[in-house]
Amino acid sequence: MKKISKYLFILMVGGAMFTLSCTNLDEEVYSSIPLDDFFRTEADVLMNAGRAYTKLQRFPEEQRLWSLMQNASDEMVIPGRDDGLWWEQGRWDELHTHHFNPTNKILRQSWEFVFEGVSACNEVLYETETTPIQFEGKERILAEIRVLRALFYYWGIDNWGNIPYSVDFTDRELPEQKDRVFMFSFVEKEILDNVEKLQTMPGPDYYGRVTKGMAYTLLAKLYLNAETWIGQNMYQKAVDACDQVIALNAYSIEDDYFANFKVYNEASVENIFVIPNHTVYTKDRMYWYTLTLNDASRATFNFKGEMWDGFVLEPPFFNKYAENDVRRKSFLFGQQYDKAGNPIYFIEQGDTAWFAYTPTIDNYKARGRWEGARCCKYEYQENLEYYVNDMENDFVLFRYADLIYTRFEALWRLGRAGEMINDAHLMKIRTRAGLEPYNVSQLNAEELLDEFGREFAWEGRRRQDQIRFGVWGNTWWNKPASDANARLFPIPQTALSANPKLKQNDGF
Amino acid sequence: MKAIDIHSFCKAYRFFLIAALFSLLAPALMAQQGSRMVKGKVSDFNTGESLPGVNVSVKGTQSGTVTNIDGLFELSLSGEPVLLFSFVGYTSQEVASKGLNTIDVRLKPTVESLDEVVVIGYGLTTKKEVTGSIASVKTEDFNKGSYNNPMGLLQGKVAGLSITKPDGADPMAGYQILLRGTNTLTSGQGPLIIVDGVAGMDLKNVSFEEVESVDVLKDGAAAAIYGTRGSNGVIIITTKRAKTGISKVEYSGYLSVQVNPRMVENLNAEQFTDAIMKYAPEKAGSLYGTNTDWFKEITRAMPVSHRHNLAISGGNETFSHRTVFFVDQSEGLLRDNASNNYLLKTNIQQKTFGGKLSLDYNISYGIRDYKPANYDMFYQAFIRNPTSPVYDPGNSYTGGYTLISGMDYYNPVAMLNERTRTGKTDDAGINVRANLQLTPTVSWVNMVSVERSNWEELYYRTKYYPSRLGTGGEAEISNGRSSDLQYESTVNYRYEKNQHQVQLLGGYTFEEVQANNSYMVNTGFDTDIYGPHNIGAGSGLGEGTASMGSYKEKSRLISFFGRATYNNSDRFLAALSLRREGSSRFGANNKWGWFPSASIGWRMNNEAFMKNIAWLNDLKLRIGYGITGNQDIGNYKSQILMGRAGKFYYNGTWINTYQPVSNPNPDLKWENKHEINAGIDFAVLKNRLSGTIDMYYRKSTDLLYTYEVSVPPYLYKELFTNVGTISNRGVELSLKGVAVRTENFNWTSILTFAYNKNRLDKFTNEEFTNDSYDLGWIGGAIGVNSQKLREGQSLGTFYGPVWIGLDELGKDLFKNANPVGQVNPEDWEVIGNAFPDFTLGWSNMFSWGDWDMSIAMRASIGGQVLNTYRLYYENWGGIGLNNVVLSQYENPEFTGNARYSSKYVEDASFLKVDNISLGYNFALESKYISRLRMYATAQDVWTLTGYKGLDPEVNLGGLTPGIEYLSYYPRTTLLTLGVQVSF
């Protein structure tokens, strides 16, 4: 018995020791990086900072900000198809008819696009500022991120007006809602404080990054809309900001309108700020071909994937183009041809069906498969296949023509359009489109608005322009008249539920 | 010493001799005078084992004998009396001896013996001492038939345990197991499965033939000892162990064939043509004139499967083994879909140190190779135009298959032929349990278990696979490894004094689970010859479109636990348990938790005032309370980790960016379930009728869910955190009775009934105030959410417009319709709920002579299912390209478009006959064969339901139960011929 109890004792003690050492529950991570192991070198800091830029990449997607703004305007529409697709319980119809709904998915995702961008910028600023690692260009990167954040807030003010304001990553409180006046001056100040630290001349090393040209262009646009947004006439300041960009002598108007939208548009001298794309690295971001074209167009462009055939040009908009306007070629209409130049046709039930897009649409709720003009402004490369090889064209956010026209409009509103009427860049915008340059007597609100529509079709400016020219409430195509409240989108329901400090915009 | 009187001795001797002779001859003499010798063998009805010690007596007299060690007996009878065979634990039998010289008898174990062993956590107890809610199912109550997974044996046998097969006749389909409703939103919903003491075993590695008994720990009091894995109940499976005694060989074989395939019904070519001519003549261009039965094209006519189980056992008191070989080859209904399983398992039991140390070794090795099914093929077979031919020989672009252009519209025969997918898994496991009897009252058990599993899958789609036309073949190789190490140490102490019996248990367990996997995908193969075996040869690698990835994770679970049980003269019982458990998955502030339970029982029939009630054999009242947790949430959820975020164009090159993968949550903890359960166990009429009634209320708090948060200040719009509460309450009833018991005929019936009500009590707090979430997205042209998650309501509640009929033009009419004929989302009402109100199971076993028959049925009352096929395809809108459901052809009045409403949310009540089995036991005289039984079984025989779709039993787990899937696997009836032989 004694022997047994001795062994027993040893076993018990051994067991106890074993159990004490085996109460360790720390998780070992293999396939992600724990935060403590990050931020060791300059490369790490850059990789982290770059994350804020990647938030821009989602801008041209099907259900995000670009789509929201365009579908609410008069240049783009998504009618229900005759086979039932694309109606999607009327969520696109809500945008077209201005019956905005706080639970609309596109609205919610656009909001998330803007505020995830702001949040990423806040976080990156905090991490980059606090890391002890120093490197050349750190100040510049910080300035870039601040102006990038200002860009996101600019979109916020443009679309929702009264938005949550948050600039301190360490502040865990729910952000307060600030009105347009406050946010406007914040954005203005951010740009002015940081613009001098930015890169002056554009170049391959700064492609896709925030530069002085971009910052002043943003500032100019901000001032141009000041009267509409906060009731202050700042058109002179807009002109001055434009002059800053012109003074750089870094940009000019391309000879070929479409050079800015080519697959490899890095060489464009007109683009000021773009979102760079790569066919594989940024797949599922720029996939206009699949949104707008019908399957039959595969033969035209040698695509591999299937087309979703949903986004079309609103029929009345097509008529704004004169027949000889080069820019009308941004849209596909009429007989379609394959790569060899032969017209495309199909034998269906014994008949020959010639594949042609018609710019008109008979039934808004039952669009035929080949009705509606389609966008081909951005050049389509071969072998595109959604989610495998998407478009490589860099998406243009700001370009020089935009800046020139901004200056022009600001002067026109000041009654001084004559000062610029013979400007070489200004005239080139018209002549390269095959049209006569303007003279002062031709200028009126309707003509200017139409011209901006023609020049910047589908680029993301239309809604802003229509509001500024006061026509946002009008009727067009299937849209009824809408009241002043429609100039702002409602704040999404999910944002209101998550942050009780936010108040919904009037009228919703 | 007196001299022996020789004379009297001789006299005595003669007398003795004559008496001896007489006694030897007497039977013969008596036989000649009408008496004879009768002999025979008595064995156990179920197992065929010989029963020694059985009383064989002449009815009404005192004479008789007892069977020997081999179960044999010999008795001398005069006349032709009735013999009575009786044995403790078995039902007595009477046999008339008229005309019989050899009488072999098979005795059946008695219904509900109170000393029946019940497995509880980390130990055993008897049925009469149990104070928690535990259901124990033994071999004779299992469902008959052939199964790919042991859970099939229990279907319908345990009240409150729902075992369903939402994937139909797929040979690889598993069972969905839910106990007492849904107790969580996002964590795992399956119960903890323990096989022979090892937790979390994959049931595919257990042969259904080898299951001896299953014990289900249903309530909190019983399952609390399993801490954070006990919330969904614990199912403890005991397989057949090594037995001492002579060597035995047992073989069971099953040959099965699947018949009567049932799929969603669409129109055949003739009906399709007729429908278009009548109702959609503008689509006449879609009539191609051939007659194709797409379903037949992709299925086998009579899929065959066979299973064999060979078990060899034997040994003596100190060393015995049971070794099992199991082979399962099953063909699926879908062509090219099959599953093969090969298992080798051995259990060795050894006793040393004079019986003080007993060792139990289990070694198992299993190989599975399979060809998985792609359920989408059945959906494509449904929607595809039946007048279009399968092949288009002139079409070199498609490889000779007919191509009709349409979104998500593929030729299913092309999908079948132009793809190969195979998988292989090896599982090896070894565990050793050492039980050391330290003193007569103290024993110490240590167990170590190691399980390893490797798998690999190869997948290749040729350039003619419909969704890859024009892009070249695609190959994918994926594989993985996992290992599970468990160590358990428990000390058991027994104390008895007078009427007090106390048992104390203390223990420690440690478990570490590790898994890693990797995959690679490449495209652009110009030849299909390689298949997946030259994955570098595709052009995608150079173009940058090939992808690969790998992942590894590890987690640990550690706990200390103890239990005390008290028994006072079998009248008053009590049990207390406590577990302190920690899991690596929880946040840094909450790694450890306490899980207590307490339960008491009162055996009323042992009380003085009840002792004289003759018809009452057992009446026990019990009540228990316990707290369990749920840690099935995935690893690393509490940490802030950086992962890749996308690419950024910097200084002329693309570089990776990083971001947090989720919002960190150091307060992350498990979900807690509190449960109170009150029950009554009873047995009456000499144990002829017994049953259990349980009433329970269970509440899970700190429910984990992904909440939407404000960005900023959070990094992401979602946070995975503990907020809500969900409760389930219900009643369960279980009855087992011998309805008829005569000399020749026996009828036993088991009835189970369960009622459960689920309620999401709360999932808001000061921070998260949104009390309603839209779920159950129905995509495509419908584009709505069909369910809402709402505080105060049950999970799985359908919301939608209320349909009131068709107008004279055949368009839908809805309640509260707006001017355009639709219903605004704010006017949607509750139109159904996925969970049934009541579930019932009823099994009947009959036996007469050598024959036996059993029928098992299940019913479910209440609950609704969204019939997605009718929703999308019960209209004329898409006909031409698509087919439609048969019900639209038979009732063609509806002319509108597909719109979600209560029209498609149907009652899912059903009655199913799960299996019917007829068996015959051969009475053999062979020296070698001790038992031979043959039987025929039909499984999944018949369903009675008002549901218009394929099967009202759809997925009931997850956040959106009750929605039928478009990609499905058909149902079949399985006919099996089986033989069981014991040598």
Q: Where in chain A is the domain with CATH 1.25.40.390?
A: 1-197+483-508
Note the ipTM here.
0.77
Q: Which residues of A touch B715 (CB under 8 A)?
A: 119-120, 123
- pLDDT higher than threshold 90 for residue B774: no
A and B: number of Cβ contacts within 8 A:
186
Angstrom CA distances, B782 to A82, B770, B961, stand at: 14, 25, 19
DSSP conformation class of A82: T
φ, ψ for residue B521 (rounded to 5)?
Answer: -130, 135
For residue B210, give every residue at least 6 positions away whose Cβ sits within 8 Å of its Cβ, in sequence order, or none.
B239, B240, B309, B311, B324, B326, B345
pLDDT, tens digit (0-9, with 9 covering 90-100), for B330-352:
999 999 899 999 999 999 999 98
Higher per-residue pLDDT: B18 or B479: B479
Do A88 and B407 count as a contact with CB atoms less than 8 A apart?
no
pLDDT, tens digit (0-9, with 9 covering 90-100), for B68-111:
777 888 888 877 788 888 776 677 777 777 777 888 887 776 54
Helices (H), B643-728: none
Per-residue confidence (pLDDT) for residue A10, from 0 to 100? 52
Angle at B114 between CA B113 and CA B117, to 5 degrees: 90
Closest CA–CA distance from residue A28 to any residue of chain B (Å): 7
For residues B269-283, average pLDDT: 89
Per-residue confidence (pLDDT) for residue B671, from 0 to 100? 86
For residues B431-452, average pLDDT: 92
- Decide: pTM greater than 0.95: no
Q: B222, B160 in Cβ contact below 8 A?
A: no
Bridge partners of residue B839, in order along the sequence: B754, B860
Tell me how far the alpha carbon of residue B781 is from its chain's centroid: 37
Closest CA–CA distance from residue B453 to any residue of chain A (Å): 20
Burial class for B977, CB neighbours closer than 10 Å (0-12, 13-18, 19+): middle
CA distance A112 to A125: 19
Q: Which residues of chain A have pLDDT under 70?
A: 1-22, 32-40, 349
Do A51 and B648 count as a contact with CB atoms less than 8 A apart?
yes
Three-class secondary structure assignment of B488-541: EEEEEEEEEECCEEEEEEEEEEEEEEEEEEEEEEEEEECCCCCHHHHHHHCCHH
Q: B140, B746 in Cβ contact below 8 A?
A: no
Per-residue confidence (pLDDT) for residue B733, from 0 to 100? 95
Do A32 and B641 count as a contact with CB atoms less than 8 A apart?
yes
Per-residue confidence (pLDDT) for residue A357, from 0 to 100? 92
- pLDDT higher than threshold 60 for residue B329: yes
For residues B856-869, average pLDDT: 94
DSSP conformation class of B964: -
Name the amino acid, one letter, at A233.
N
Residue in B closest to A8 by C-alpha: B438
Per-residue confidence (pLDDT) for residue B734, from 0 to 100? 93
* A54 → closest Cβ in B405, B585, B645: B645
Indicate the SS3 state at residue A447.
Answer: helix
Nearest CA-CA partner of A355 in A372, A374, A339, A334: A334
Mutant choice from A5, A7, A22, A47 vs B, greatest count of B C-beta within 10 A: A47
pLDDT, tens digit (0-9, with 9 covering 90-100), for B196-208:
888 888 888 888 9
Q: Which residues of B touch A27 (CB under 8 A)?
A: 554-555, 584-585, 635-636, 639
Q: Which residues of A touch B545 (CB under 8 A)?
A: 280, 388-389
For residues B861-881, average pLDDT: 90
Indicate the SS3 state at residue B322.
Answer: strand
- pLDDT higher than threshold 50 for residue B464: yes
Per-residue confidence (pLDDT) for residue B410, from 0 to 100? 92
Per-residue confidence (pLDDT) for residue A36, from 0 to 100? 62
Q: Provide the CATH topology of domain A1-197+483-508.
A: 1.25.40
Residue in B closest to A501 by C-alpha: B710
Per-residue confidence (pLDDT) for residue B820, from 0 to 100? 77
Do A281 and B897 count as a contact with CB atoms less than 8 A apart?
no
Name the amino acid, one letter, at A332.
L
Q: Could you tell me the two tokens for B516?
A: 């890693």
φ, ψ for residue A64 (rounded to 5)?
Answer: -125, -160
Indicate the SS3 state at residue A218.
Answer: helix
Mutant choice from A51, A171, A387, A395 vs B, greatest count of B C-beta within 10 A: A51
Per-residue confidence (pLDDT) for residue A63, from 0 to 100? 92
* A166 → closest Cβ in B646, B661, B713: B713
Q: Which residues of A touch B493 (CB under 8 A)?
A: none
φ, ψ for residue A401 (rounded to 5)?
Answer: -60, -35
Q: Which residues of B touch A295 (CB under 8 A)?
A: 405
